Amino acid sequence: MKKLLVVLLISVPVKTAFCQDGSGTIVMRIIHSQNLQNKGGENPDRRISVYLPPGYERSKQRYPVIYYLHGFMGNDSIYPAMKAILDMAIAKNKIRPYILVQADNNTLFSGSFYSNSSLTGNWSDFEARELVEYMDKNFRTIATRDARGIGGHSMGGYGVLKIAMMYPDVFSSAYAMSPGLLTFVKEFGPNSDSYKQLAAIKTKEELDKTYYPRVIAACARAWSPNENKPPFYFDLPFNYIGDSLVVDTAVYAKWRANMPFYMIDKYASNLKQLKAIKLDWGRNDAPRFAVQCGMFSQELENHGIEHYAEEYIGTHSNKIWTTDGRVLDEMLPFFNDYLKFEEK
C-alpha cells in the first residue's frame, strides 16, 4: 500500500457526548485543513463527527472505520436517528462494533462534490488523506486500507464512487446509495431547463432559492472554475444565447472527467483493487437515478469489474437512515462482511 501523505493538522475539541452502557458516543472535532486552503471563500476549518461504538472508552481495542459522505446541502451532523441506527445494528448483532466518521463537506454553494478544485480547495484529498490521517492518529483505528470503507448517499454516493476510484490504496470497499451526477442525464443533461434557468440568475440570493441550478453551480465551481468570471466564478458546458443552446466543448470535457460513469475507463484497474463495490437506488426516486445507476453498473460490467447493484422500492430519502432502511439492513452489514476487524 502506498504511504499516506503526511500533512499538518490542527484539531480543536468542540463537543463530546458521553452515553450510557450499550450506547455509542458521538465526538466532534475541528480539522484545520491544508488541502482546503482556497481562493473561493470556503472555510478550511472543517468539523467532523465521529461515532464511537459502545465500550470504546473502556477498551484498548482497535476498530475499522466507515467514512460516510453526506448529501447536497448536508453537513457532518450525526443526528440522533443516525446514532440510534448504529447502536441498533450493534445491539442486534447485524454488525461488529466499528467507528463511523462524517466530515462537513458543505460549501457556500451547498456542496463540494468531494472534488479537487483550484477555486474551492481539494476536497477529495481532504477526505481521503487528511481525514484518514487524523482518524488514525487520534482514534484507535485499524490503520490499513482493509479496515476502511467509504459509504454515502446522493452527492455522498457520487463522492464514494469517485474517491474509491482515485484512492484504492486508502479504502478497500465502497457503498454508494442513490449516487448523483454520474453522467449527463435528465435534469443535468443539455435537454433540461436547468442551464437555461441558471443563465437567467445574476445573484447568489436568487441562486439560493433554486435547486437544480444551485447544484449545477456547485459542480461548476468544483469542476470548471474560472477566477476571472464573476459573480459565480465558473464556466458551464451548456450555455444559452437567447433561446439557443451553445456547447462549450472544453468545459464539457472537464465535466466528463469528473463524472464517475466516464471515469471508469481511466480508473478500471483501481476499481478492480477494491474488495467490494455496491450501489443502490430507489425505484420511485427522480428518473435520473435509475438511468444513471443502471448505466454505471453496466459500464462496470463491461470492464469486468465485480460489483453489486440493486434497485429497491423507495424514494430518494424514505429508506435510508430508518429502522427499515438501507443503512441498517444493507450498508452496515456490507461493511461488516468486507472490512478487517481486530482478531481477539
Taking the C-alpha atoms of residue 35 and residue 45, their distance in angstroms, rounded to an integer, is 11
The pLDDT score that the predictor gives to residue 242 is 83
The pLDDT score that the predictor gives to residue 11 is 38
Question: Per residue in 242-273, is it b (16+ CB within 10 Å) or e — as a string?
Answer: eeeeeeeeebbeebeebbbbbbbeebbebbee
How do the domains of the chain map onto residue ranges? 11-183+260-338, 186-255
State which H helix or E strand residue 74 sits in. none
Contacts 24+ apart (CB under 8 A), 233-241: 233/40, 233/119, 234/119, 236/195, 236/198, 237/190, 238/190, 238/195, 239/195, 239/199, 240/195, 240/196, 240/199
Name the 3-class secondary structure at 289: helix
Residue with cell 434497485: 311
Please provide the distance, in angstroms rounded to a whole number, between the alpha carbons at the two ends of the chain. 24
Please enumerate in sequence order all residues whose Cβ is within 8 A of that of 203, keeping only pairs 6 or more positions apart, or say none: 231
271: cell is: 476499481
Taking the C-alpha atoms of residue 200 and residue 257, their distance in angstroms, rounded to an integer, is 27
**Residue 93: left if φ>0, alpha if ψ -120 to 50, beta else—which one?**
left
Taking the C-alpha atoms of residue 307 and residue 305, their distance in angstroms, rounded to an integer, is 6
Contact 142, 251 (CB under 8 A): no
Residue with cell 446514532: 83
The pLDDT score that the predictor gives to residue 344 is 67
Fold for 11-183+260-338, please state it: Rossmann fold (3.40.50)
Per-residue pLDDT in tens (0 to 9) along the chain, 344 residues: 333 333 333 333 433 333 345 899 999 999 999 999 999 999 999 999 999 999 999 999 999 999 999 999 999 998 898 999 999 999 999 999 999 999 999 999 999 999 999 999 999 999 999 999 999 999 999 999 999 999 999 999 999 999 999 999 999 999 999 999 999 998 888 888 999 999 999 999 999 999 999 999 999 999 999 999 999 999 999 998 888 899 999 999 999 999 999 999 999 999 999 999 999 999 999 999 999 999 999 999 999 999 999 999 999 999 999 999 999 999 999 999 999 999 86
Burial bucket for residue 84 (CB in 10 Å: 0-12, 13-18, 19+): middle
